[in-house]
């Protein structure tokens, strides 16, 4: 049994189904409701998805447009949804780095500067310092030196919940969007823009859908708050004239739209 329940200003709205097919039909039904129900970009207070005994509630406010994108992503990957509902911890970045088990087990395998203990103190002592003395921990090293795993694992070891966001995908999708936009301006034709976008998408390596879904869910649910913080910082940086910043227009919705476009195409 699948259930999708929206808590809206108009009251709760529920959709139910029994099987995989009905799951897809639920989403179609919801999409139709969004389109034809004349509800516009109505804010949704809560979205509750239930699959069997597993139930997840998304309580951060979002609007129906975001919800439509989200649900259409889930439509293509029921197993991904079940995995997610079963264990959200699977979405943590460390789960994606399966092969680095040795480093995960013991980050001390890799030599660091200034020293292992000093580097750990950067994480461990941050919580005890005064607010006006806070600092950023920078993790540098050559490509493949284990920076991502080290940062996440060290954070976990020191009692932090890691909220992970990788900028590489942002830069890539932004570049594609810019190229498509430039070409469109040159050609002056929306259809040409679409062709260029499609060409760009075709040139990419195919990404497994469940990875996209996981990425999307992680972005949508977990990193949303932190990304908003990045947006804030970026604007702040712009005001200070601290240099260019390719993140300045990185909003959650834009990110959702990009991910959705990539998946749905």
**By CB under 8 A, is residue 240 in contact with another protein?**
yes
Nearer to another protein, 34 or 70 (CB): 70
Which one among 18, 133, 191, 202 touches another protein, defined by CB under 8 A?
133
Which one among 28, 179, 234, 254 touches another protein, defined by CB under 8 A?
234
Contact pattern for another protein over residues 165 through 194, marking x by CB under 8 A: xxxx--xx----------------------
Which one among 99, 188, 190, 206 touches another protein, defined by CB under 8 A?
99
- Residue 213: CB minimum distance to another protein, A: 16
Distance CA 88, CA 83 (A): 8
Distance CA 35, CA 201 (A): 27
**By CB under 8 A, is residue 102 in contact with another protein?**
yes
**By CB under 8 A, is residue 92 in contact with another protein?**
yes
- Residue 102: CB minimum distance to another protein, A: 5
Distance CA 198, CA 80 (A): 25
Which one among 187, 236, 249, 264 touches another protein, defined by CB under 8 A?
236
Backbone angles phi, psi at 4, to 5 degrees: -120, 120
Q: What order do you get walking across the sheet with 46-51 strand by strand?
A: 11-17, 2-8, 46-51, 54-58
**By CB under 8 A, is residue 254 in contact with another protein?**
no
- Residue 4: CB minimum distance to another protein, A: 15
3-class SS letters over 23-84: HHHHHHHHHHHHHHCCCCCCEECEEEEEECCEEEEECCCEEHHHHHHHHHHHHCCHHHHHHH
Residue of 198, 180, 217, 178 lying closest to 262 (CA atoms): 198
State the number of binding residues for another protein (CB under 8 A). 85
**By CB under 8 A, is residue 222 in contact with another protein?**
yes
Which one among 65, 126, 210, 261 touches another protein, defined by CB under 8 A?
126
**Residue 65: which residues within 8 A CB-CB, separation 6 or more?**
34, 41, 253
Touching another protein, residues 141-170 (CB under 8 A): 141-148, 150-152, 155-156, 158-168
Distance CA 46, CA 50 (A): 13
């Amino acid at each position: 049994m699948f259930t999708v329940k929206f808590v809206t200003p108009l009251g709760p709205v529920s959709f139910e189904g029994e099987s995989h097919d009905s799951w897809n039909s639920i989403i179609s039904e919801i999409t139709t409701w969004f389109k034809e129900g004349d509800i516009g970009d109505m804010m949704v207070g809560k979205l509750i998805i239930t699959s069997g005994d597993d139930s997840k509630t998304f309580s951060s406010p979002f609007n129906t447009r975001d919800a439509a994108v989200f649900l259409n992503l889930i439509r293509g990957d029921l197993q991904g949804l079940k995995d997610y509902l079963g264990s959200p911890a699977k979405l943590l970045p460390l789960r994606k780095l399966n092969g680095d088990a040795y480093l995960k087990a013991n980050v001390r395998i890799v030599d660091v500067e200034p020293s292992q203990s000093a580097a750990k103190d950067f994480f461990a002592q941050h919580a005890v310092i005064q607010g006006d003395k806070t600092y950023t921990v920078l993790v540098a090293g050559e490509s493949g030196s284990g920076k991502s795993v080290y940062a996440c694992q060290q954070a976990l070891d020191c009692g932090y919940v890691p909220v992970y966001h990788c900028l590489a995908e942002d830069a890539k999708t932004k570049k594609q969007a810019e190229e498509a936009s430039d070409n469109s301006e040159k050609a002056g034709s929306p259809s040409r823009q679409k062709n260029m976008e499609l060409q760009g998408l075709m040139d990419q390596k195919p990404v497994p859908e469940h990875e996209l879904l996981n990425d999307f869910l992680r972005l949508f649910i977990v990193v949303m708050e932190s990304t908003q913080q990045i947006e804030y910082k970026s604007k702040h940086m712009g005001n200070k004239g601290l240099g260019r910043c390719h993140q300045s227009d990185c909003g959650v919705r834009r990110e959702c739209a990009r991910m959705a476009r990539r998946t749905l195409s």
